[in-house]
Structure 1
Amino acid sequence: MPKLTDVTLPTQLKERLAQGHPWVYRTHVPPQLRLPAGAWVRLRCGGWSAYGLWDAERPIAVRVFSAHGLPNAAWVRERVRAAWELRAPLRAAGCTAYRWLFGEGDGLPGLTADVYGEYVVVQAYMGGAGELLGWLAEALREVNPALRGVVLRQQRADDQDEDQVTGSQGGEPDQARSAPSPAGALLSLSGSLPPQQLVVREHGVQLYADLRGGQKTGLFLDHRENRRYVEAVSAGRSVLNCFAYTGAFSLYALRGGASAVVSADIGKGLAAATAANLALNGFDAARHSFVTDDCFAMLERFAAAGRRFDLVVLDPPSFAKSKASRYAAVRAYARLNTLALRCVAPGGLLASASCTSQVGPEEFKGMLTAAAAGAERTLQIVHEAGQPLDHPVPAGFPEGRYLKFVVGRALERA
C-alpha cells in the first residue's frame, strides 16, 4: 500500500460520516493541507476512518470511497457489477438508455456513467479522476462485453448537475433543461466513439440522443418513469409541455392518447428535433405543435388570453446552483407555477418538477401551495415521485435526492 496522508477531521462530523455521507468540505480539512488532485488520503474522525480521494480545487475537498481498504481496479469492478445488477429490470423492460452509475448513489463518488445502446458516456465531477477513469472504463466493458465504446464527456457550463456547489447542502442535482450549447468534447476511454446521433428506446418510445451536442449526456434520463405517468393520465386531454427540450414528455402524452399537445422551449433547433422524434415514432404530427419562446412569457400570454389546458407539464432548468440562490429559486418556481396554474382548466392537472437539490421536497410542495394561492386555485396532490431506479440515493446522503415531481389537480376555490 502506498504511503497515505492522514487527514484528521473535526469530531462533530463523525456521526454523519459513519452514517455514510460521502463528502468532506474544504472548510473541514486543515487549511494548510496541500495535496495534488487525485491523491488518496486516509480520513480519521474520532474512532472512524476511511479512504478518500483529494480534490485540490472544488468546495468538496475529499470524497469518501471506502471504509475497508484503498480502492483499486477490482474494487471499482465490484461497484460497477453491483450497479449493473440493480438496473436489470430496466434492461428487461427494453430500455436501452439509462444511468448505469450514479456517483455517490452507487459508491463511486463524483462519477456518472450513462448507457446509450452500445455506448457509455462517463462524466467526472472532480479533479484527479484519471486513475479511476481507467479502472472504470475497463470495468464497464468487462461487465458488459457487448459495449462498442466508453467515452468521457468533457464538462460544460450547462452540465453542472453533479458538479459540486458551495454551502453545506451541495448536490448532484442541478440539471439545466435548456437549449443545447456548443458540443462537449468526447474522449475515448475504451473502444470507438459513438455516432453523432443514436436511437434509443425507453418503454417502447424511441428517442434520438445527441451525445455530443445535446444537454446532459444526450437525454434527461431521470424523468423516464415520470414520462410514463404523464402517458397514463393524458388520454383525451389537451397537454402543454413547457421546457420541452426534444419533446420526450410530449411523445408519451401523444402515445397516451392526448387530444392535442403543445411543446414549448426557447432553444434553437428544438422544434426540428421534436418533429424528428415524432416522425421516428410514427405519431400524428397534426396533434402536435411547437412554440419556440420563453416559457414564462408564453404562460403569461396564454393566461391573459384565457387559453387553458387539461394538463400542464413543467420541467424547468435549475434555478439554484448554490445555497445562496435558494430563496431566489423558490420565488422563480412560485412565479412559474402560478402562471402555469392559471393555464390549467378547472379540474385539470399540473405536473411540476424541480431538479435542484437546494430546494427539498417539503419546501417544493410548500411553494406549490403558495403558487396555488396566487392563482386562486386549490391544488390536490394526487401523485409524487423522486428519482427512478437508476438514480439511487444512499440513506445517509440526503443531498443526493434532488428530483421532485408532483402532480396536482387544480380546482376552482369554493
Structure 2
Amino acid sequence: MNNAIKLKVKSAHSKGYQAGYPLVTENAIAQFPNGIKEGTLLDLFDEKNRFLAKGYYGKQNKGRGWILSRNQQEVIDQSFFEKKIKMAIDNRKTLFKDEDTTAFRIFNGEGDGVGGLTIDYFTGYYLVTWYSEGIYHFKGAIIQALINVADVKGVYEKKRFAVKGTYIDDDDFVTGERANFPLIVKENGINFAVYLNDGAMVGVFLDQRNVRKVIRDKYAEGKTVLNTFSYTGAFSIAAALGGASKTTSVDLANRSKSKTIEQFSVNGIDYEAHDIIVEDVFNYFKYAVRKQLSFDMVILDPPSFARSKKHTFSAGKDYPALLEQAIQITANNGIIVASSNCSTFDMRKFKDFIDKAFRVTGGKYKILEEYSLPEDFKVLKEFKEGDYLKVAIIKKLS
C-alpha cells in the first residue's frame, strides 16, 4: 500500500502545500506519469527536491487527489486510518452523548485528514461515502479501521465516483447487521426516516441541522411557510413543529410527496393540514405571483445545479433571479431563509446576490443571522472551498 510515486510540484504551488492546502490539482503538478492508476500513493517534492507531502491519486471533480500526511515516513495503512477516524470520533463526543440527536457526520473528508471520504452516523449505523475510485482503493483498510475504533451495528456505503460524479447504484450494504428501513433517527428532537440503502441520498441533509433548529425554535410560530426545492420536507417538518400555521412544500421529484408525508407522519403531524406539491419550483413561483399568494416565510435551498424540462438552474449564475421571485411572494416583515451549497462562491459573494435581488425588486432588507456548516462538518481554513454552505436569514422590511 506504500509504493509511492514521486511527483514534482510547480514552484507557484509549493507554498500552498507547505501551508496545508490539501487538494492535489492538475495544474500544481509538473507532470503526471502516463497510465497512473487511481489509489496510487504520491510523494510530492518541490523544485529543489524537498519533500512537501504524501497523498493519493484520485479524480474528483477538478481535483486529482488529496494530501494524507506531511510526514515522509508515514505509512498509509489500516493503522493510519484508525488514528484518523478515532481522532474524528473523539472530536464528536458531545454529539454522541446528545440523546436528542442520533444522526450526524463523524468524518468530513479533508477536514478530518482524508479528502474524498465522508462517514455519517445514523443511530448505530455508519454510512461511508467514497468520492473517487482513488479513495475506494483503500476500502478494506478504512472499513476495518472504522469497525476497530467505533461501536458499529452495520456499515453502508455510497459510491459517488461514476462519470460526471453521478451515483453508482448497487447494493449499499457492506458489513455487520442490516438495518430495518426506514431507520428513525433524531435531530434536536425531530424524527427523520432515513434509508441508507435507497439511492444516492438518504432522506435528510445533515449539514442543515442548525438551520432547521433555529427555524423551529425562533421563526416558525404562527407563520405560513413556503419550502421550495423541499426534497423530503425536512424544513417543513421543523417549521410545523415550531408552530407554523401551515407549510407548503414544493419539489419537482414525484417521490418527494410520499417522502414528505412519511416525515410528517413519523413526527405525529397531520400531513393533510399542510400542502405538498409536486411541481417545478420556477413554475410555482409564476403561479404564486399570478395568484398574488404571500407567505410569512420562504425557504430557498436549491441544488447547485438543476435541470427540468423548461428550466436550467446554476446557483453561481441564477441565484439572484431566483431570490427576486421569492421576494415577490414574501410578506412585508416576512422571513426568507436563503441557502446555497454551491462551493464556487463564498458568503461575501452570496450577500452580493442578496443585495442585487433586493435592488432589482426595490425592497429593503436586513440579514438577521448567518449560518455555515455545523461543527461536525469540520473544515480546513487552508481549503475555503470545503466550507461550502451559506445560509442567510433575511427579514424583508416593509
TM-score (norm 2): 0.90
8 Å contact kept, 1:330–1:367: no
8 Å contact kept, 1:29–1:61: no
Shift of 1:217: 4.2
Partner of 2:201: 216
Shift of 1:218: 4.1
Partner of 2:21: 21
AA at the equivalent of 1:88: K
Partner of 1:116: 122
Report the Cα distance in structure 2 between the residues aligned to 1:320 and 1:263, rounded to whole angstroms.
17
SS at match of 1:186: coil
AA at the equivalent of 1:138: Q
Relative distance call for 1:5 and 1:370 in structure 2 (3 A) is same
AA at the equivalent of 1:79: K
Paired residues, what number? 386
- Unmatched tracts of structure 2, length 5 or more: 308-312
Relative distance call for 1:410 and 1:57 in structure 2 (3 A) is closer
Partner of 2:293: 307
- Unmatched tracts of structure 1, length 5 or more: 164-181, 322-326
Q: Does 1:206 align with 2:191?
A: yes
TM-score (norm 1): 0.87
Partner of 2:113: 107
Shift of 1:215: 4.6
AA at the equivalent of 1:309: F
Report the Cα distance in structure 2 between the residues aligned to 1:385 and 1:397, rounded to whole angstroms.
18
Relative distance call for 1:106 and 1:71 in structure 2 (3 A) is same
SS at match of 1:212: coil
SS at match of 1:129: helix
1:248 is matched with which residue: 234, 238, 242? 234
Relative distance call for 1:320 and 1:51 in structure 2 (3 A) is farther
SS at match of 2:134: coil
8 Å contact kept, 2:130–2:161: no
Relative distance call for 1:130 and 1:381 in structure 2 (3 A) is closer
Relative distance call for 1:319 and 1:254 in structure 2 (3 A) is same
Residue by residue, what CA displacement relative to the aligned partner does 1:297-351 show, whole Å, maximum 9, x if unpaired? 1112112221111111011111399xxxxx9533311111110011110000000
Report the Cα distance in structure 2 between the residues aligned to 1:155 and 1:23, rounded to whole angstroms.
18
Relative distance call for 1:210 and 1:4 in structure 2 (3 A) is closer
Shift of 1:137: 1.1
8 Å contact kept, 2:2–2:75: no
SS at match of 2:55: strand
1:66 is matched with which residue: 61, 66, 69? 69
Report the Cα distance in structure 2 between the residues aligned to 1:188 and 1:369, rounded to whole angstroms.
46
Which structure's relative contact order is higher, taking Cα pairs within 8 Å and 6+ residues apart? 1
8 Å contact kept, 1:42–1:50: yes
Partner of 2:211: 226
Relative distance call for 1:300 and 1:374 in structure 2 (3 A) is farther
Partner of 1:152: 157
8 Å contact kept, 2:130–2:136: no
C-alpha RMSD over aligned residues: 2.4
Relative distance call for 1:386 and 1:320 in structure 2 (3 A) is farther
AA at the equivalent of 2:331: A
Relative distance call for 1:357 and 1:158 in structure 2 (3 A) is farther
Report the Cα distance in structure 2 between the residues aligned to 1:52 and 1:341, rounded to whole angstroms.
46
Partner of 1:171: none
SS at match of 1:55: strand
Q: Does 1:80 align with 2:81?
A: no
1:122-271 alignment, distance < 5 Å = 122-145=128-151, 147-155=152-160, 160=165, 184-231=169-216, 232-271=218-257
Relative distance call for 1:205 and 1:65 in structure 2 (3 A) is same
SS at match of 2:132: coil
SS at match of 2:369: strand
Partner of 1:8: 8
